[in-house]
């Protein structure tokens, strides 16, 4: 019979986690004190700035119980943090993982979750250096603090877009939202688990390598990852940079899989592309003359498509969408709000 956390206890679980991390994870020579003490310690690299981010995933709010495996959950939780580091032009170094677990949680599921964490960190030679475990009476949660670094002078912000800049986006925003809707609307045992859109929701890819390459290239003026939705995160750039944006509907990237789904009455495919969705793609701004350079840098390291979708305009003009017929619509940059949304985060 599979053991639960009630069978082995907190310290039995900690021992298993330490053994797993030591066996499968990266052992960085810059870690002077790792897991097992009151705090971890590491040597920062000369000439770099440290980056720190954190994100929490709560069962029923950020993921659907029974619709995602433990390993997928671990990978997804780490991807969302790696994405934040990459959107600043950095690379991840060290992770602190805190878990809220029920007593009946299977030990094997926790180990699988850690396998997911490690699989996402190892390509960067990044390591888990600590964390915390507590008992949750109801919903399981995963909280990760990720520490990264970026060369001094290479940090990319969301506050430095300029009027006249081109606006570009990687990949196909909206796919994660569509995948969540497929899961929520599934009846019986419909075979959605391996659907490409469900994979976009449960097994997202980050663009950290692309983000870092962009930062080091010097071609871009601002950048942000799409964790709350294309329009919402574009709104963050506008707010912080004190600018507006004109988007061209005809240029918004729509994937083949998005084109094939059945939409609710009154909804268009562009509602998915621009709406709430944690796709972990990148929104990038650059001078118009550097668009070709940005494309070349991205294509040299990744097959991910990058699309020019608009331009930066004065703040007084807000965010405008030029429709297919040439008319303009003023857009409200509303992203995901944990305290105003009732459905799971997309």
62 or 75, which is more confident? 75
Domain residues of the chain, as ranges? 10-151, 166-331
Average pLDDT over residues 269-288: 95
Q: Are 142 and 99 in contact (CB under 8 A)?
A: yes
pLDDT at residue 343 in the model: 57
CB-hemisphere CA count at 13 Å for 155? 13
- What does each C-alpha distance from 46 to 15, 29, 149 come to in angstroms? 34, 15, 11
CA 207/CA 119 separation, integer angstroms? 16
Q: Is 314 left (phi over 0), alpha (psi -120 to 50) or beta?
A: beta
Q: Please, what is the average pLDDT of the chain?
A: 92
- What does each C-alpha distance from 192 to 68, 69, 150, 171 come to in angstroms? 11, 14, 39, 22
pLDDT tops 50 at residue 272: yes
Q: How many residues does the chain have?
A: 346
pLDDT at residue 262 in the model: 84
pLDDT tops 60 at residue 318: yes
pTM (predicted TM-score) = 0.93
pLDDT tops 90 at residue 185: no
CATH code for the domain defined by 10-151: 3.30.1330.10
Q: Are 98 and 56 in contact (CB under 8 A)?
A: no
pLDDT at residue 336 in the model: 47
pLDDT tops 90 at residue 337: no
CA 256/CA 253 separation, integer angstroms? 10
Query: CATH classification of 166-331 is 3.90.650.10, yes or no?
Result: yes
Residue labelled with tokens 């206890």 = 9
pLDDT at residue 186 in the model: 75
Residue labelled with tokens 């509602």 = 271
pLDDT tops 70 at residue 65: yes
Q: Are 294 and 220 in contact (CB under 8 A)?
A: yes
């Amino acid at each position: 019979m599979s053991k639960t956390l009630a069978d082995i206890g907190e310290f039995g679980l900690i021992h298993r986690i330490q053994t797993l991390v030591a066996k499968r994870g990266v052992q960085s020579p810059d870690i002077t004190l790792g897991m097992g003490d009151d705090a971890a310690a590491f040597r920062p690299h000369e000439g770099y700035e440290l980056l720190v981010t954190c994100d929490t995933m709560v069962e029923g709010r950020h993921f659907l119980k029974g619709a995602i495996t433990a390993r997928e959950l671990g990978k997804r939780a780490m991807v969302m943090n790696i994405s934040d580091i990459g959107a600043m032009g950095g690379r991840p170094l060290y992770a602190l993982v805190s878990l809220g677990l029920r007593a009946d949680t299977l030990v094997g599921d926790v180990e699988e979750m850690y396998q997911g964490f490690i699989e996402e960190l190892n390509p960067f030679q990044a390591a888990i250096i600590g964390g915390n475990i507590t008992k949750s009476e109801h919903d399981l949660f995963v909280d990760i603090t990720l520490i990264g670094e970026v060369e001094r002078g290479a940090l990319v912000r969301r506050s430095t877009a300029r009027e006249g800049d081109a606006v570009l986006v990687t990949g196909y925003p909206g796919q994660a939202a569509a995948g969540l809707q497929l899961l929520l609307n599934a009846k019986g045992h419909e075979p959605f688990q391996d659907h490409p859109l469900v994979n976009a929701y449960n097994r997202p890819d980050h663009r950290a390598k692309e983000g870092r390459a962009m930062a080091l290239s010097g071609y871009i003026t601002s950048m942000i990852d799409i964790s709350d939705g294309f329009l919402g995160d574009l709104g963050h750039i506008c707010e912080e940079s004190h600018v507006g944006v004109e988007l061209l509907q005809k240029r918004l990237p729509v994937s083949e899989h998005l084109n094939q789904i059945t939409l609710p009455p009154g909804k268009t495919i562009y509602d998915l592309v621009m709406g709430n969705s944690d796709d972990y793609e990148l929104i990038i701004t650059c001078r118009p003359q550097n668009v070709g350079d940005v494309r070349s840098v991205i294509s040299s390291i990744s097959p991910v498509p990058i699309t020019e979708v608009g331009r930066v305009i004065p703040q007084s003009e807000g965010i405008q969408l030029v429709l297919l017929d040439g008319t303009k619509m003023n857009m409200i940059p509303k992203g995901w709000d944990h305290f105003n949304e009732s459905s799971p985060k997309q």
